[in-house]
Amino acid sequence: MKFDAQLTCAIKQANEEYPDHSDSCLLYSALFGKAGDFMININGLTKKFGRIATVNDVTMRVGRGEIFGLVGPDGAGKTTLIRMLCGIITPSGGTVTLLGDSSHNGRSKSHIGYMPQRFSLYGDLTVMENINFFGRMYDLDKNTTGQRASELLEITNLTGFKSRLADNLSGGMKQKLALTCALLSRPDLIILDEPTFGVDPESRKEFWKILYRLNKDGVTILVSTSYMDEAELCKKVAIMNEGKLVAVDSPASFKKNFAYKILELNADIKEPEFLGTLPGILDADFFGDRYHIRVAEANSGMKIITDSLVSRGIEITLLREVPPTIEDIFVALVEREAV
Same domain, 152 and 246: yes
Pick the residue with more confidence: 20 or 113? 113
Looking at residue 238, the DSSP 8-state letter turns out to be E
Helix (H, G, I), strand (E, B) or coil at 69: strand
Same domain, 95 and 131: yes
Same domain, 219 and 316: no
Helix (H, G, I), strand (E, B) or coil at 33: coil
Per-residue DSSP letters for 265-315? EEE--S-GGGGGGSTTEEEEEEETTEEEEEES-HHHHHHHHHHHHHHTTPP
d(CA 13, CA 15): 5
Same domain, 184 and 69: yes
- CA–CA distances in Å: residue 244 to residues 35, 41, 333: 24, 16, 12
Q: What is the structure's pLDDT at 288?
A: 78
Tell how strand 67-71 and strand 52-63 pair up. Answer: unpaired
pLDDT over 90, % of the chain: 70
d(CA 171, CA 166): 10
Largest CA distance in the chain: 75
pLDDT in tens, 41-68: 999 999 999 999 999 999 999 999 999 9
Q: What is the structure's pLDDT at 338?
A: 56
Q: What is the structure's pLDDT at 103?
A: 52
Tell how strand 290-295 and strand 281-287 pair up. Answer: antiparallel
Mean pLDDT of the chain: 86
What is the domain count for the chain? 2
Helix (H, G, I), strand (E, B) or coil at 321: strand
Is residue 329 assigned to a domain? no
Q: What is the structure's pLDDT at 278?
A: 93
Split at pLDDT 50, 70, 90, the class of 189 is very high
Residue 197 has pLDDT above 90, yes or no: no
pLDDT in tens, 22-32: 333 333 232 33
Q: Which long-range CB contacts under 8 A does 210-215 form with residues at least 24 apart?
A: 210/155, 210/156, 210/176, 210/179, 211/67, 212/67, 213/155, 214/155, 214/183, 214/190, 215/65, 215/67
Q: What is the structure's pLDDT at 110?
A: 62
In the listed set 237, 254, 271, which residue is the last one of a domain according to the structure?
254
Residue 107 has pLDDT above 50, yes or no: no
Same domain, 239 and 98: yes
pLDDT in tens, 270-317: 888 889 899 999 999 888 789 999 999 999 999 999 999 999 999 999
Q: What is the structure's pLDDT at 216?
A: 94
Same domain, 14 and 75: yes
d(CA 41, CA 59): 8
In sequence order, the 6+-apart residues with CB closer than 8 A to the CB of 288 are none
Give the global pTM.
Answer: 0.82
Same domain, 41 and 107: yes
Residue 70 has pLDDT above 90, yes or no: yes
Split at pLDDT 50, 70, 90, the class of 335 is confident
Instruction: Note whether 320 and 222 are within 8 A (CB).
Output: no
Is residue 120 assigned to a domain? yes
Same domain, 249 and 103: yes
Q: What is the structure's pLDDT at 37?
A: 72
Residue 190 has pLDDT above 90, yes or no: yes
Same domain, 229 and 268: no
3-state SS of the chain: helix, strand, coil percent to 5? 40, 25, 35
Instruction: Note whether 31 and 41 are within 8 A (CB).
Output: yes
Tell how strand 290-295 and strand 316-322 pair up. Answer: unpaired
Q: What is the structure's pLDDT at 102?
A: 54
Helix (H, G, I), strand (E, B) or coil at 168: helix
Residue among 274, 278, 280 nearest 300 (CA): 280
Same domain, 164 and 300: no
Q: What is the structure's pLDDT at 282?
A: 94
- What are the strands, taking DSSP E only, across 64-200? 67-71, 93-98, 112-115, 189-193
Q: What is the structure's pLDDT at 104?
A: 52
Is residue 195 assigned to a domain? yes
CATH code where residue 19 lies:
3.40.50.300
CATH code where residue 278 lies:
3.30.70.980
Residue 33 has pLDDT above 50, yes or no: no
Same domain, 24 and 106: yes
Same domain, 160 and 48: yes
Query: Which residues are 262's β-sheet partners?
Result: 294, 322
d(CA 220, CA 62): 8
Domain region containing 293: 259-323
